[in-house]
Structure 1
Amino acid sequence: GKKVKVFELDQVNTLNVKVETLKKAGIKHDWITYIPVDYANESWVEKLLGAGFDKTRKTLFLWQSVSLYLEADIVKETLRKMADLCVDGSIIAQDFYSKAFALGEYSKTAKRFMGIIEKMGEPSKFGIDMSDDPREAVESFLRECGLKMTNYIQFGEKLDIEPFYCIVEAEVRPHKAGMTITEQKEIVRKGYDKLSYAYRSDNATDDEGFYTEWVNCLKDKIAAGSPVLDLGCGCGLPATKLLSEFFKVTGVDFSEVQIERARKLVPAAEFICSDIADLQFSNCSFAAVVSFYTIIHIPLDEHREILMRIADWLSPNGYLLIIVGHEAWTGSENKYLGVEGGEMMWSHEGAETYTQWISETGLRILWTRFIPEGESGHTLVLARKSINK
């Protein structure tokens, strides 16, 4: 115990029970720092840091028998906070119940167990769908939280249709650990400053056909000369240039190198060098907003707010044409496109999450298309703002 610094966070009554239990058992516990937390009204992160937690040291988080009682978004938020709080190589040990078990649908045993829990005043709320590939389902959930699963043990596969419970170890991904949103953005900005020409030369035409097809989705829907916003325009090729042949285009990118090139390559368009999160446009300013391969580079915590703002910027009956992640993933490369020192980051949810978020803004999803790339790909979404929005 003397070589390990241990913090125990819990509600005050629960902590008191734990301390009394240790005393009765005659177990020394003076090396444990107990931190009472009112989770409804206090930040457990601030309480932990205030108690002397050193976020520069590797940490083992134990989070057991808790997620079952929380909403899914709270589970994700908590795991992401853990990932943001500690350094590379830190480990989170966690357990999960299956969704069927949490709903009491698994077996007679599960139903009895859930009945007992509900009588105690703590109804189950969260479980992972383990009906298909349980290991992949859990691993995918952890990826969404910036974690890499390193160990997985499941229970119940021989007793019924699917596992009802699993214990996992997950490692904090190096690019995610302890990094602020500003730091994540700087990696992307500096990355595209350095990678601009490697990503797309002044005369690249290899994938112009795809962009032409995507831009044509708007040609028959929006009047010529209408104002269109291109978020994450890069050097302006090929999307902004294609759009500028039909519409009055404003391109936005926060790489100074990309914007400088865009102004030369696409003189018909206007360009703004800015973080998308800092943009200020009046409501109903654009007949369409286009964004190809951009939101996947923005820190995940900002995605929903950006989509809400896009919806505000669109005119009634305006269109959003956007490429989002197909599967949830957070990752980085230190030598992107083979360029030494060309660091890049990605952070995105899966397509279903984005269609839900876009729908929540009041836009109506018209269609989605899978855009293959390598072993996976991305999803192209076309959505429309109603005239009453």
Structure 2
Amino acid sequence: MAEPASYLDATADAYDAVAVRYVELFRDALDALPLDRAVLAAFAELVRSTGAGPVAELGCGPGWVTAHLRDLGLDVFGVDLSPVMIELARKAYPDLRFEVGSMDALDLADGTLRGIVSWYSVIHIPPRDVPAYLTEFRRMLAPGGHLLLAFFESEGGPVAAFDHKVLTAYRWPVDELAKPAGEAGFTEVGRMLREPGEEERYRRGHLLMRRDG
């Protein structure tokens, strides 16, 4: 289910406008986040254990997480709405594949992927539409494939919009995001919550899911 063009255009335009500055500010962010790296490593190990196959980072931005997943041994490519982000990713990692596209409308056959990472990309989706995205993620995954969602956690409160520095985003209680994932056909493998770092405002949530058969 594709979002209205106005939503997609607004998201792409907002990230195009900040792409260069975004890279300057956050290029080495993963280096200082051992728990985040541990979640990515667990995801990569689970994907490798299910056999060879492609992995997609959906909402890849400038490609750092895509490259990190490559370094963890995955056959990975990145997709993002922002043409400028994709241009920067291609320049930084010319050996990797990056495409401009919407993560809910990719031209992939059913069951193509062994894994999907959505690293803080579901945060901009209007909450009412998140179940449709999760259903599309399941369609693209092979049976037994894994999904990793990273998001801002709402610490027990309701799903809530907040003033993200790029454009409106949403914080999710971890159980509230796990529920539609389960309804879409995923089984939870694990979750990780961490407290905000020194320059972070909100708790971070990570859900690791497996596609049911």
TM-score normalised over the length of structure 2 = 0.83
Give the number of aligned pairs.
Answer: 199
Offset of 1:278 from its aligned partner? 2.2
| Structure 2 partner of 1:381 | 207
Offset of 1:225 from its aligned partner? 5.3
| Structure 2 partner of 1:297 | 124
| Structure 2 partner of 1:115 | none
Q: Tell me, in whole angstroms, the C-alpha distance in 2 between the residues paired with 1:301 and 1:268.
A: 37
Q: Tell me, in whole angstroms, the C-alpha distance in 2 between the residues paired with 1:302 and 1:355.
A: 15
Task: Confirm whether residue 330 of structure 1 aligns to residue 155 of structure 2.
Answer: no
Task: Confirm whether residue 319 of structure 1 aligns to residue 146 of structure 2.
Answer: yes
Offset of 1:199 from its aligned partner? 1.8
Return the match for 2:179 from 356, 369, 374.
356
Structure 1, unaligned runs of 5 or more: 1-179, 337-342
Q: Tell me, in whole angstroms, the C-alpha distance in 2 between the residues paired with 1:349 and 1:257.
A: 28
Task: Confirm whether residue 185 of structure 1 aligns to residue 8 of structure 2.
Answer: yes
Q: Tell me, in whole angstroms, the C-alpha distance in 2 between the residues paired with 1:226 and 1:281.
A: 13
Over 3 Å counting, the alpha-carbon distance change for 1:270 and 1:202 in structure 2 is: farther
State the one-letter code of the partner of 1:196.
Answer: A
What aligned pairs does 1:132-281 form with structure 2 within 5 A after superposition?
181-201=4-24, 204-210=27-33, 211-223=36-48, 226-237=53-64, 239-245=65-71, 246-281=73-108
Structure showing greater Rg: 1
Over 3 Å counting, the alpha-carbon distance change for 1:314 and 1:209 in structure 2 is: farther
Task: Confirm whether residue 282 of structure 1 aligns to residue 113 of structure 2.
Answer: no
Q: Tell me, in whole angstroms, the C-alpha distance in 2 between the residues paired with 1:264 and 1:332.
A: 30
Structure 2, unaligned runs of 5 or more: none
Offset of 1:206 from its aligned partner? 3.5
- Asked if 2 retains the 8 angstrom alpha-carbon contact of 1:188 and 1:345, the reply is no
Q: CA RMSD in A?
A: 2.3
Offset of 1:352 from its aligned partner? 1.5
- Asked if 2 retains the 8 angstrom alpha-carbon contact of 1:370 and 1:377, the reply is yes
Instruction: Tell me the SS of whatever aligns to 2:208.
Output: strand
Over 3 Å counting, the alpha-carbon distance change for 1:207 and 1:244 in structure 2 is: closer
Instruction: Tell me the SS of whatever aligns to 2:38.
Output: helix
Deviation track 1:211-246 (CA, whole Å, cap 9, x = no partner) reads 532321123223385310101000001x11011221
Offset of 1:322 from its aligned partner? 0.8
Q: Tell me, in whole angstroms, the C-alpha distance in 1 between the residues paired with 2:184 and 2:15.
A: 30
Offset of 1:300 from its aligned partner? 2.5
Deviation track 1:156-200 (CA, whole Å, cap 9, x = no partner) reads xxxxxxxxxxxxxxxxxxxxxxxx954343332111111112222
Instruction: Tell me the SS of whatever aligns to 2:207.
Output: strand
Instruction: Tell me the SS of whatever aligns to 2:195.
Output: strand
- Asked if 1 retains the 8 angstrom alpha-carbon contact of 2:66 and 2:76, the reply is yes
* Higher normalized contact order (CA 8 Å, seq sep 6+, divided by chain length): 2
- Asked if 2 retains the 8 angstrom alpha-carbon contact of 1:244 and 1:268, the reply is no
| Structure 1 partner of 2:169 | 346
Deviation track 1:236-282 (CA, whole Å, cap 9, x = no partner) reads 01x11011221111211010000011112122321110122322311
Instruction: Tell me the SS of whatever aligns to 2:104.
Output: helix
Q: Tell me, in whole angstroms, the C-alpha distance in 2 between the residues paired with 1:369 and 1:232.
A: 20
Task: Confirm whether residue 370 of structure 1 aligns to residue 190 of structure 2.
Answer: no
- Asked if 1 retains the 8 angstrom alpha-carbon contact of 2:57 and 2:118, the reply is yes
Q: Tell me, in whole angstroms, the C-alpha distance in 1 between the residues paired with 2:131 and 2:15.
A: 23
Q: Tell me, in whole angstroms, the C-alpha distance in 2 between the residues paired with 1:277 and 1:287.
A: 17
Deviation track 1:107-162 (CA, whole Å, cap 9, x = no partner) reads xxxxxxxxxxxxxxxxxxxxxxxxxxxxxxxxxxxxxxxxxxxxxxxxxxxxxxxx
- Asked if 1 retains the 8 angstrom alpha-carbon contact of 2:104 and 2:137, the reply is no
